[in-house]
Chain A
């Protein structure tokens, strides 16, 4: 896979989007913004976790696109697999906590967690 280049031949701009790290980085940042917006604006606990998942997608895309640009895709894949395993464990524990919060308070509203008493 060739590294992304911008050339001008006969008035036509040729670009290899798949290998262009900078172009992929733009989408990584967009995904990060979407996840961050969800974390800042939503009150439902499950929605907050979905926001974290969207941020995680941006991170994995950044890892793979950087390793693709640097021609070390095996190392990038190893890092992404490690990250996905950690992500699954975090989601499992977070959802277990959410279920316990629901059983305790009867709601998934994060604002009802201001008084943390047993």
Chain B
């Protein structure tokens, strides 16, 4: 179980790196999808089942479809010249960052107050989501409407007269 969890975390990082370094946009989008799937597996390990299902269906599914559609609509003349230098020096930066980060976190480990286990939540996920976080739902509805109207405005057909 611990080994599978560690493998999932490493796979998440590896696919995220591939998503930013691959030159082909379609392969990069599919790598991002794979990273989302492994993140959902990690959520399942932490018993966050609803978040895991949301991650797989929405992020790995819907967002990947949006990316692939956009890549299909902008292919051909949209080849952007990307310098090879960031790809070449990324491993160096990555290893340097990990070493510095582990050192800093090791030093701060003794100074950080421990994250105590709180009182277990009572009830079910539905009760917390629909009753305690009701305002979040109102905000979500507002954001969805804002997104829909923004996309409609951006793809509005222009009149012949301007």
1/0 contact trace for A69-82 toward B, CB 8 Å? 11111111111111
A88 and B19 contacting across the interface, CB-CB below 8 Å: no
Interface size class of A (residues with CB under 8 A): 35 or more
For A16, list chain B residues within 8 Å (CB).
2
1/0 contact trace for B33-58 toward A, CB 8 Å? 00110010011011110110011001
Interface flag for B144 (CB, 8 Å) = yes
B48 and A69 contacting across the interface, CB-CB below 8 Å: no
Taking beta carbons and an 8 Å cutoff, which residues of B are in contact with A? 1-2, 5-6, 9, 12-13, 16-17, 19-20, 25, 28-29, 32, 35-36, 39, 42-43, 45-48, 50-51, 54-55, 58-59, 62-63, 66-67, 69-71, 73-74, 77-78, 80-82, 86, 90, 93-94, 97-98, 101-102, 105, 109, 112, 115-121, 123-125, 128-129, 132-133, 136, 139-140, 143-144, 146-147, 150-151, 154-155
For B123, list chain A residues within 8 Å (CB).
74
**Please, how many angstroms separate the alpha-carbon atoms of A43 and B82 in the complex?**
7
**Please, how many angstroms separate the alpha-carbon atoms of A33 and B154 in the complex?**
32
**Please, how many angstroms separate the alpha-carbon atoms of A96 and B118 in the complex?**
43
Interface flag for A12 (CB, 8 Å) = no
A71 and B117 contacting across the interface, CB-CB below 8 Å: yes
B115 and A91 contacting across the interface, CB-CB below 8 Å: no
A43 and B80 contacting across the interface, CB-CB below 8 Å: yes
Q: Given A18-B2, A64-B46, A109-B80: A69 and B9 within 8 A (CB)?
A: no
